[in-house]
Amino acid sequence: MAKEMIYNVSETADRLDKYVAEQTGLSRSHIKNTIASGGVKVNGKTAKPSDKLHIGDVVIVRIPEPQQIEAVPQDIPVDIVYQDGDIAVVNKPQGMVVHPAPGNIDGTLVNALLFHLKDLSGINGEIRPGIVHRIDKDTSGLLVIAKNDDAHISLQQQIGGKAARRIYAAIVHGNIKEDEVTVDKPIARSKRDRKKMAVDVSGRDAVTHFRVVERFGDYTYVEAELETGRTHQIRVHAAAIHHPVAGDAVYGPKKVQLHRGGQLLHAKMLTLCHPRTGEAMVFEAPLPDYFEKTLTKLRGRT
């Protein structure tokens, strides 16, 4: 059954889609689809996302019950950099979602892991087995996977306690003049767009260290090390210092020119202590083809 919500407009509002998104906490794109399917009515009539609301309007929103999602094994190739009885380290390609979710119910890294690995920790439930930390769909690179709950707890503590190191390669817009820049700005869910994150004084502490590797005039190749692990942290912090990650249409320029496959961001290095033996372990993933080709293109321009 669909969930029905009724809103009485008490003050002059903006567009219908914006108003409903703010009231429900759902994304604008989700609301636009709901409106298009007839799930939103104003004063008993169907409406368009761009319709203006007025004081006294009654908005009825019907949100379908969420689709039941089940993680099933799928024979999808996955680059397993290392594995033993407790952990696995994988190199996720750009364009792959980490775990099933509405809109991405299969074809994810979890679906591949369930096929290729025998055991995965259950702490994060059936939809995210073994997943200790995540990277975005269009970010490539290293992730550590827990094969049992003890390993999961240890890895979670290492990441949360800053004992594990995570270093990313990125190409950002503009010329960063300083060789090193530390961004210490709290991050929270954006109040304007619930699908985005934003620098917000009321948010959780977030620290990113940027180090310049190579300059190309209008672009800079950097390494970014996470001290904390907030959603979209590197992308938000890069945009906050006016050097958004190239290819990132969410936090950077809407017209993407350098690379159209997603943000140029790659989790290149991961260091941790083995959860059972305590051994210090260092893993590195070479820059993928899409990243190397972009660097070659930039070097050819200078």
Range of the structural domain that residue 300 is part of: 162-302
Which of the listed residues 63, 89, 104 is the one where a domain comes to its end?
63
CATH of the domain at 11: 3.10.290.10
pLDDT on residue 66: 59
Predicted confidence (pLDDT) at residue 12 exceeds the cutoff of 90: no
Predicted confidence (pLDDT) at residue 1 exceeds the cutoff of 60: no
Based on the fold, state whether residues 15 and 128 are members of the same structural domain. Answer: no
Based on the fold, state whether residues 175 and 220 are members of the same structural domain. Answer: yes
Active-site residue identified among 136, 150, 184, 193: 136
Predicted confidence (pLDDT) at residue 237 exceeds the cutoff of 80: yes
pTM of the model: 0.78
pLDDT on residue 96: 95
> Please, what is the average pLDDT of the chain?
91
More confident of the two residues 240 and 103: 240
Identity of the highest mean pLDDT range in 4-18, 48-62, 135-149 = 135-149
pLDDT in tens, 46-104: 889 989 998 889 999 987 765 567 789 999 999 999 999 999 999 999 999 999 887 77
Cα distances (Å, whole numbers) of residue 53 to 4, 15, 21, 56, 193: 19, 6, 13, 9, 19
Based on the fold, state whether residues 116 and 57 are members of the same structural domain. Answer: no
Query: Interhelix angle for 28-36 vs 16-24, to 10°?
Result: 120
How many distinct structural domains can be found in the chain?
3
For strands 165-173 and 58-63, give the pairing: unpaired
136 catalytically annotated: yes
